[in-house]
């Protein structure tokens, strides 16, 4: 009996000691039989997996800093924020942002590659430079957290934004590397402090990280409300609204426009997990999934990767099971 108990203790210790994938702001793409997760980090950190559970570190996308980063964000420290990845016209487009924390000295750029496989002879990221920039006092929005969505009519749009006057949507050009001309802009979500104020302060309006997911007749706009990056004091949580048109208006379950503070809670965490947010969403083999980060209470609020199945209620709204936060455990493999 003692040997059996000892074996159980060893097994439990092994599980506890297993290293999980620690990421902020994860997005995901699949090439062939391999999944890739990209996240905020030095040069954009990324991982590969054959099963969405066991992940191998693959290093970083940028070996150095994007050439334009310091011009847009003088306090840029090498951490590239909030990527978004899409396959378009035979290539992978990876959007990213550079900024200074709490400032709208920010810019969104895009880099392009034929493959996501770092062991391929075709693997070579080609940075196309800055797509959009925000400047203090001039702009009442913040050029971070890009997400690209297609409108089903041949057009592509970039949602973005953090704090200030909220989330925006702007049309991209045919190359997906700049803004369409003439420019077309839309405001899609806000927790506004009142009249537009273009100043250096982010203000109290805690909204960021848009991700637009098409399902059936609707576009679903996910956003993160609350504060990230404060360990146990983090209040980050995921909300959603929907629209039949990619440009909005997006309304929540109660019909409240997200431009007027609307947003129905999808998941807000529990005693075990805090600071849930900056999600992405995908359809994989006929199922829908939400990908996000969450801070684990018992591990000193370390941020960890979560992939949760997303289901839909009778009225067409997305739901996730909070118990999946503990069920899903990533496993970080040794570096190649």
pLDDT, tens only, 6-47: 344 344 444 445 799 999 999 999 999 999 999 999 999 999
Could you tell me which residues come within 8 angstroms of residue 166 by beta carbon, excluding any fewer than 6 positions away?
Answer: 141, 187, 188, 189, 190, 191, 192, 205, 207, 259
Query: What mean pLDDT is reported for the chain?
Result: 92
Q: Both tokens of residue 1?
A: 């009996």
The CATH number of residue 193's host domain is 2.115.10.20
Distance from the Cα of residue 145 to its chain's centroid: 7
Q: Per the domain annotation, does 10 fall within a domain? A: no
Which residues are annotated binding-site positions for substrate?
Answer: 25, 102, 142-145, 162-164
Is 60 exceeded by the pLDDT of residue 326?
Answer: yes
- Range in 6-15, 123-132, 160-169, 184-193 the model is least confident about: 6-15
Element housing 164 (H / E) = none
Number of domains in the chain: 1
The domain of 280 spans 24-332
Which residues are annotated binding-site positions?
Answer: 25, 102, 142-145, 162-164
Q: Per the domain annotation, does 229 fall within a domain? A: yes
How far is the C-alpha of 256 from the C-alpha of 239, rounded, in Å?
A: 12
pLDDT of 195 reads 57
pLDDT of 277 reads 96
How far is the C-alpha of 25 from the C-alpha of 81, rounded, in Å?
A: 8
Q: Per the domain annotation, does 14 fall within a domain? A: no
How far is the C-alpha of 142 from the C-alpha of 162, rounded, in Å?
A: 6
How far is the C-alpha of 24 from the C-alpha of 293, rounded, in Å?
A: 6
Phi-psi region of 43 (alpha: psi -120 to 50; beta: other; left: phi over 0): left
CA-CA distances (angstroms) from residue 104 to 108, 145, 319? 11, 12, 33
Active site residues per annotation: 25, 208
Q: Per the domain annotation, does 28 fall within a domain? A: yes
Element housing 276 (H / E) = strand 273-284
Q: Per the domain annotation, does 12 fall within a domain? A: no
Reported as a pLDDT band with limits 50, 70 and 90, residue 199 is low
Q: Per the domain annotation, does 157 fall within a domain? A: yes
Q: Per the domain annotation, does 8 fall within a domain? A: no
> For the segment 157-175, what is each residue's pLDDT rounded down to a tens digit?
999 999 889 999 999 999 9
* Nearest Cα to Cα of residue 161 among 258, 74, 243: 258
Q: Per the domain annotation, does 1 fall within a domain? A: no
> For the segment 228-270, what is each residue's pLDDT rounded down to a tens digit?
988 998 999 999 999 999 999 999 999 999 999 999 999 998 9
Contact assessment for residue 335 and residue 46, using Cβ atoms and an 8 Å cutoff? no
């Amino acid at each position: 009996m003692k040997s059996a108990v000892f074996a159980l203790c060893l097994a439990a210790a092994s599980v506890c000691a297993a290293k999980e994938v620690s990421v902020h702001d994860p997005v995901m793409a699949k090439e062939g039989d391999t999944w890739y997760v990209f996240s905020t980090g030095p040069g954009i950190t990324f991982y590969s997996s054959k099963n969405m559970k066991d992940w191998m570190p693959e290093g970083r996308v940028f070996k150095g800093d994007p050439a334009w980063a310091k011009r847009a964000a003088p306090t840029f420290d090498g951490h590239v924020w909030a990527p978004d990845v899409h396959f378009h016209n035979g290539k992978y487009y990876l959007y990213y942002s550079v900024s200074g924390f709490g400032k709208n000295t920010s810019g969104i750029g895009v880099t392009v590659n034929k493959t996501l496989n770092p062991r391929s002879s075709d693997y070579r990221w080609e940075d196309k430079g800055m797509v959009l920039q925000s400047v203090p006092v001039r702009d009442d929005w913040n050029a971070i957290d890009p997400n690209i969505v297609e409108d089903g009519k041949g057009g592509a749009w970039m949602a973005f934004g953090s704090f200030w006057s909220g989330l925006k949507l702007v049309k991209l050009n045919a190359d997906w590397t700049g803004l369409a001309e003439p420019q077309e802009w839309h405001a899609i979500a806000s927790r506004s402090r009142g009249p537009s104020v273009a100043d250096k302060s982010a203000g109290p309006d805690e909204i960021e990280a848009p991700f637009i997911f098409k399902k059936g007749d609707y576009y679903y706009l996910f956003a993160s409300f609350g504060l990230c990056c404060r360990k146990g004091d983090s209040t980050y949580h995921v909300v959603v609204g929907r629209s039949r048109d990619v440009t909005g208006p997006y309304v929540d379950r109660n019909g409240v426009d997200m431009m007027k503070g609307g947003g129905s809670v999808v998941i807000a965490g529990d005693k075990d997990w805090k600071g849930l947010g900056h999600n992405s969403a995908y359809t994989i083999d006929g199922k829908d999934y939400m990908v996000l980060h969450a801070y684990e209470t018992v591990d000193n609020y370390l941020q960890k990767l979560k992939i949760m199945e997303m289901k839909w209620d009778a009225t067409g709204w997305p739901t996730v099971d909070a118990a999946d936060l503990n069920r899903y455990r990533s496993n970080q493999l040794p570096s190649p």
